């Protein structure tokens, strides 16, 4: 059985200094979530016959990445980084080196 975790991400521009602000809240309890600093590159594409959405997600600072055909694998990869500042379990993503472009 699948288990989903849903979040609302709200962002706004500060009127004082023009910086971007954001907050992450759990949908189930509306409580703010404290998340570790993390950056991800997400690429998605549709295959040639237009039937399958595919994607790649990379954790920027480590270079580890995972390809996916469904959101479940992408969410699993991100959740591993968000729940713990250590690297995800072995086998969940490969280190491909720095991101270029």
For residue 62, pLDDT beyond 70: yes
For residue 14, pLDDT beyond 60: yes
Whole-number Cα distances in Å, 65 to 40, 76, 90 = 9, 12, 12
Q: d(Cα 93, Cα 30) in Å, to the nearest integer?
A: 30
Domain boundaries, the chain: 1-34, 36-101
67-98 per-position pLDDT tens digit: 888 767 777 777 777 665 444 444 444 444 44
What's the pLDDT score for residue 4?
Answer: 56
Give the pTM: 0.47
Work out the mean pLDDT of the chain and round it to a whole number: 72
What's the pLDDT score for residue 91?
Answer: 46
DSSP notation for 23-74: EEEETTT--B-------EEEEEEE-TTS--EEEEEEETTT-EEEEESSHHHH
Are the C-beta atoms of 74 and 55 separated by less than 8 Å?
yes
């Amino acid at each position: 059985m699948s288990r989903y975790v849903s979040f609302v991400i709200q962002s706004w521009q500060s009127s004082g200094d023009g910086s971007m602000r954001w907050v992450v809240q759990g949908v189930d309890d509306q409580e703010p979530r404290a998340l570790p600093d993390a950056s991800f590159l997400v690429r998605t594409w549709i295959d040639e016959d237009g039937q399958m959405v595919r994607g790649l997600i990379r954790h920027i600072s480590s270079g580890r990445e995972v390809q996916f055909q469904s959101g479940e694998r992408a969410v699993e990869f991100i959740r591993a980084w968000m729940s713990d500042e250590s690297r995800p379990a072995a086998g969940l993503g490969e280190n491909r080196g720095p991101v270029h472009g």
